[in-house]
Structures are given as C-alpha cells and as structure tokens.
Amino acid sequence: MKDIHFCKYQATGNDFILIDNRSDFFPKQDNKFISHLCNRHFGIGSDGLILIENDPENDFRMVFFNPDASQSMCGNGGRCAVAFAHKLGIVDVSTQFVAIDGLHQANISDNGIIRLKMNDVEKVEKTRKYVRLNTGSPHHVEIRKDVEAIDVKKEGAKIRYGHSIEGINVNFVEQMDNGQFKVRTYERGVEDETYSCGTGAVAVAIAMHKIGKNTAENVVLQTRGGVLEVSFEIKKKLLGLKKEYENIWLSGGVQFVFQGNIQCDF
C-alpha cells in the first residue's frame, strides 16, 4: 500500500483534488483509480483531479482529469492549480504554465483573486436558440427566463448527449436587472450540474456579447458557487475575418479546503 498526499481546493464551489506529481509517480492510465478518487461516496470527492508536473519550458504542467477520467481544460481548475503551485513554492505571484489546450498565464492578487488568461476564441456558432463555442472545452450557451426552475441535470444531459459523440458542456443563462448574468452549468465528465464552471463562464460572457445582450468587455457572472468575472477584447478584423475574441481573462476567488493522505495499492 502507498499513501498519496493531496490537497483539496475550491473555486466558486468547483472543487478539485490536487496532487504534486513532479516525481511522475501517479498512475495516469488507471481510469478506475482516478474515478475512485473523485467519487464523493467512496473516495475523496471532487469535480476533477489535477496533477502538477514538471515542464522544461514553463513553470509547470497541469494535467486535468474529469471524474470519468477523461481529460480536458478547466478554467477554475487552472486557477486552483496556480494556487497549489504557489503553495508548493513553484511560482510567486505570476506564472506561465501549460495545459491540454496550450499555454496559460496567471497572476495572484493580494486579496486571493486569481486571474487566468484563456486561449483566444476563433469561432462562435450562433443560432436563434443557442450559441456554441470552444473556450478550452466545447460549450453550448442557451438563454432561459428562469434558470432556477430548470432541471439542469436532465435538460443538460439531453443536449450533451444529443450534440455529438464527444458531447458538449451546457450552460443555461438568465440576464439580471443589474446587467449581470446568472449561470447554471451541466459539465460533461462530471455528468451533472456543478456549482461553477470557468470555461463555461468564459463561454457565456463571449456568447452574450456575440448576440448583443451585453456590450461591455468585462462581464460579471453569478454562479451557484459565487461570482466570476470575465474580460476580453474583440479581435481586429483582418482579411475579412469576423470579429472574434482575444486577451480573455477569467477571474475569481480560490480557497484551500483541506489536505490529507489516501491509500492506494499500485
């Protein structure tokens, strides 16, 4: 038996297990074990597992697993990874790291807010009913009048499994009187509603701008777990290209929850 040390972090209710894997000991091909760690009844419990690893050209590499052991980019997970790397002494108040979707920059403010730079968005698919785009993970964004009344797990799963073999994350959005947006998200890989989703918040902010529901380039979003802010710039038109989005930043709080050891038999 072997003890694995872990830390638990949460970012607006999106919670993650973080493990220092710079010695490359973790069995990344063991999907059953990864799912076990994320299981809230038999393991530690989380919306995902994050490994911090060495990278020859950057401060660290973030390897993110969903509870079903699939890999993707995670905005809130990326912000928690930065907090964990800071705790390990790998980074100070700013960093550049690599994830499955490429390079990311981030910085830590004195009040604990962590800002994460996301990849540019090159294409936004807009229809009368929904907007779809990729912000590191694919997202479906749909406006509803009363998001609190939605059965997010049921309706989200219907869209997620009806989209394609790969599936898609689903965000239901309601515009509030103060110009902010209320968001509820169904995440693939978790296969349920989560309290917050970073790539989803970015997708909602850009989608609302794309369809004219918001003209500002800084958007406040109310998730079930707290407040996230997204800022962006509109890309300049070049050679007839449509307006898309760059210099995208996701900001919000991150909190250390607890740490411990869990036994495994690999």
Annotated binding site: 14, 66, 75-76, 169, 187-188, 198-199
> Of 7, 38, 80, 197, which residue is the catalytic one?
197
Residue whose structure tokens are 């973030």: 62
Nearest to 200 by CA among 46, 11, 7: 11
Q: Which residues belong to the annotated binding site for substrate?
A: 14, 66, 75-76, 169, 187-188, 198-199
Let me know if 74 is a catalytic residue.
yes
- Tokens coding 38: 């994320």
CA distance 144 to 212: 16
Residue 159 in 3-state DSSP? helix
**Residue 127 CB: number of other CB atoms within 10 A?**
9
Hey, what are 142's tokens?
A: 């749909």
- For the record, the structure tokens of 155 come out as 């309706």
Residue 140 has, within 13 A of its CA and on its CB side, a CA count of 25
In 3D, which of 27, 195, 52 has the Cα closest to residue 36?
A: 27
Asked if residues 50 and 14 have their Cβ atoms less than 8 Å apart, the reply is no
Alpha-carbon distance of 215 to 217, in angstroms, equals: 7
Cβ atoms of residues 46 and 80 within 8 Å: no
Write down the residue that tokens 């989209």 correspond to: 163
* Residue (of 186, 187, 201, 196) closest to 232 by Cα position: 201
197 is catalytic: yes
Euclidean distance between the first and the last CA atom of the chain, given in angstroms as a whole number: 7
User: Considering 38, 74, 80, 264, which one is annotated as catalytic?
Assistant: 74
> Active-site residue numbers?
74, 197
